[in-house]
Amino acid sequence: MQIGGCAALAAQAMAQTPSIAAKPLKVDLFSRHLQWLRKADEMAEAVNEMGFDGVDITVRPYPGHVDPTRVAQDLPPFVNTIRKHGVLVREIACPVMDADSPNAEEILATASSLGITHYWGSPFRYATGKPIVQQLDDLKPRLAKLVALNAKYKMTGMYHTNEGSNSVGAAIWDLLYVFKNFDPAQIGFHYDLGHMTIGGGNGTWALNLRAAGPYIAAISVKDFVLETNPNPDGGAGRGRGAMPNGWRVKPVPLGSGLINLPELANILKETAFSGPFEIQAEYPNGGAESAQDKITLPREQVLGAMKRDLTALRTAFGPSGLL
């Protein structure tokens, strides 16, 4: 991609950014952290107890809350039960990469029939040894088919951003190069502030967030710190987020790490963002952090930790008036 082309994309995206006033946001919790609660009533009661507005439901193989192969049978009663408790359901996480993914049309059709408007699926990875732009061009026809399916069911498909040398979308500009030919009502970013801060330090994440403009369909927040790695060359100490240079990423409760929530709030207000917004709690929390179907800590302790995340978010966003 030419540098001039990148600048043009940024100008185009920012020109399309809505000028209307930002509306107060509703905050969801990713249901991956509540998979130890198997019944919809139990999960909804926990969401209300913590003070969240809604929940992003995992439509994934067990221990996901709804099996993708049974989405037509199981998602409607699950969602309707949750909503009876006053809990919002606007988005789902599911294994849809493109229109040819297993159960893709059934998942979208069922979700749409329930008034769910957004979903996010599996990530794309770069193959080594092939030109990057060629790989992005190869994605265009795949996404064109998915965009058509999204339009059919009035759904917004979202790409969850990850950092990493082989992660498509880590730079934002790469996937924006593909998205720019499609309507943001059908395709966009599920922008993960944690991953994007890791991949775009020193404020680059903020530049990329602004550049993506109307293609920011939803926001996800999680927090982290960097710590020295006792086993940088491998072994049990390497763990998730390890780097080969003696450091590793350590997930921590929201507001206690390196992400900049006040700046995020300012940008979302500036761009009049109004899409789904969720918290992902990936720090150690009795197994809730890693999608377990059983927890090893007391229920009140696990829920209390995630409730404190929401409190930290509300404190950081307070001056913006968005929460």
**pLDDT tens across 154-182, in order?**
999 999 999 988 999 999 999 999 999 99
Distance of alpha carbon 127 from alpha carbon 198, whole angstroms: 22
Percent of the chain with pLDDT over 70: 88
Report d(CA 171, CA 159) in Å as an integer: 13
The model's confidence at residue 99, banded by pLDDT at 50, 70 and 90, is very high
Pairing assessment for the beta strands 187-192 and 277-279 based on DSSP bridges: unpaired
Give the pLDDT score at 229.
77
Residue 315 CB coordination number (10 Å): 13
Q: Are 56 and 118 in contact (CB under 8 A)?
A: no
In this model, does residue 29 exceed pLDDT 50?
yes
pLDDT, mean of residues 29-40: 98
Q: Above 90 in pLDDT, residue 44?
A: yes
Q: What is the mean pLDDT of the chain?
A: 91
Q: Is the pLDDT of residue 240 over 90?
A: no
Calpha distance 30→94 (Å, rounded) = 12
Do residues 202 and 39 make contact, with C-beta atoms less than 8 angstroms apart?
no
Q: What is the mean pLDDT of residues 175-192?
A: 96
Between CA 272 and CA 112 the distance in angstroms is 25
pLDDT for the residue numbered 236: 42
Q: What is the pTM of this model?
A: 0.90
How far separated are the first and last CA of the chain, in Å rounded? Answer: 38
195 φψ region: left (φ > 0), alpha (ψ -120 to 50), beta (else):
alpha
> Can you tell me the mean pLDDT for 185-212?
94
**Which run of H or E residues covers position 224?**
strand 223-228
With a cut of 50, say whether residue 19 has pLDDT above it.
no
Question: Per-residue pLDDT averaged across 31-55, rounded?
Answer: 98
Name residues whose C-beta falls within 8 Å of residue 34's C-beta, 6 or more positions apart in sequence.
43, 46, 47, 55, 65, 288
Does residue 94 carry a pLDDT above 50?
yes
**Averaged pLDDT, 45-54:** 98
Tokens representing 212 are 């993506």
Q: What is the mean pLDDT of residues 273-291?
A: 97
Q: Tell me the pLDDT band of 87, cut-offs 50, 70 and 90.
A: very high
Domains and CATH numbers, the chain: 3-222+259-320 (3.20.20.150), 225-250 (no CATH)
Strands 223-228, 247-252: pairing is antiparallel
- Phi and psi dihedrals of 140, rounded to 5? -60, -50
The confidence band for 294, taking pLDDT boundaries of 50, 70 and 90, is very high
Rg (CA), the chain: 19
Residue 256 scores a pLDDT above 90: yes
Higher per-residue pLDDT: 232 or 115: 115
Q: What is the pLDDT confidence band of residue 3, given thresholds at 50, 70 and 90?
A: very low
Query: Percent of the chain having pLDDT more than 90?
Result: 83
